[in-house]
Structure 1
Amino acid sequence: MYPKAYISYLAHFHGDRDYFECHEILEEYWKSINGEKESVWVGLILTAVSAYHHRRGNFSGAHKTLKKAISIFESKRGDLAELSLDEELLLENLNDLLAAIENKKPYTSFAFPITDKMLIASCIQECEFTGMNWESPSDLNNENLLHRHLLRDRTDVIEEREQARREKNRG
């Protein structure tokens, strides 16, 4: 009923709180379905990116990405319901979070208001399978979790960009 990527996203979002991984998982899925730039998937990606920035103390980045996510969600309420998210509660919670970010309040873990018990059960099962604990708080001492974008291997990305540059110069 739900894409595997969505269950994996929710498991990471509520399990190990690896927001960078959440972004990676849903971006890959979104690209595979030739998603539009204002899709609910982009809103979910931006929510994870905002949480990543907020946890690192990047209030500007957290604010910008969360504000865009809220805008998308406001225009995609029906899509949120199809993903078994309580749209009113989600928007209320995200607007409260946006206010906290504007006031430079420290990061705290939060949860999506999921309405489908079977979806929650699938996410919990995914967490158990991958060694995560559902709804555990973020580990603020885990440097890999906090600074993942700085620590990842970017060899493939750099090579892809270089290849594109070479092809552009040939054309």
Structure 2
Amino acid sequence: MYEQAYIDYLIYFHCDRDYFECHEILEEHWKKDPPTKRKNYWVGLIQIAVGLYHHRRGNFAGAAKMISNAIKLLKNEQHDLQRLGLHKEELIKQLLIRKNEILDGKCYYSFNLPIIDQELVTICKTQCHDQKNWGNASDFTNEYLIHKHTKRDRTDIIEERKNQLELRKSRKTETP
């Protein structure tokens, strides 16, 4: 019923509060569709995670921008939000509250998506590594989690970019 990438997103979102990984997983899933068939609701969910990542790190401008963009996108995707087991009106309401708190310079606190499908919650809790972590607050002592984009191993990404650059260069030399 629900795609595994979405379940993984929810687990990282609510168990680990690993918003960076939420972004990575859902972006990879979103890119599997051809550009003209990509779903905006995935982008909206990605933007929520990125906004919360920025907010937790104290980047209020980045957080406000991402949450604002998510609200704009998701207001037009409310049928799909319901299909994803989310309470569409409550989600938009919570995002508007969070956006205003960010604009007021209030500190980050953990955010729970309003999941109305209890079967989905059960699936996520079952797959969560430690069910006791579901819905717990962010661990502010985990520097790696909070600053993941600067601390992670980027070897694979750098190698892939290098390969793509080589591929583009070889195509240019082949074209008469």
Q: How does 1:22-171 map to 2 (within 5 A)?
A: 22-34=22-34, 39-127=40-128, 130-131=129-130, 133-170=133-170, 171=172
Q: Distance in 2 between matches of 1:38 and 1:68?
A: 15
Cα distance between partner residues in 2 of 1:152 and 1:122 = 29
Name stretches of at least 5 consecutive residues in structure 1 with no aligned partner: none
What is the alpha-carbon distance in structure 1 between the residues aligned to residue 116 and residue 50 of structure 2? 23
CA shift at 1:153, angstroms?
A: 1.1
2:45 aligned partner, one-letter code:
L
Q: Cα gap change, 1:15/1:47 in structure 2, threshold over 3 Å: closer, same or farther?
A: same
| Relative contact order, higher structure (CA 8 A, sep 6+) | 1
Alpha-carbon distance, 1:103 to partner: 0.8
Q: Which runs of 5+ in 2 are unaligned?
A: none
Q: CA offsets, 1:16-56, max 9 Å, x none?
A: 10111111111111112336566101111110011100000
TM-score with structure 2 length normalisation?
A: 0.91
How far the C-alpha of 1:141 sits from its partner, in A, is 1.1
Q: Distance in 2 between matches of 1:150 and 1:58?
A: 14
CA deviation profile, 1:59-82 (whole Å, cap 9, x unmatched):
111111111111110111111010
**Structure of greater Rg:** 2
The runs of at least 4 consecutive aligned structure 1 residues that moved more than 4 Å come to 35-38
C-alpha distance in 1 between matches for 2:8 and 2:104: 31
Q: TM-score, normalised by structure 1?
A: 0.93
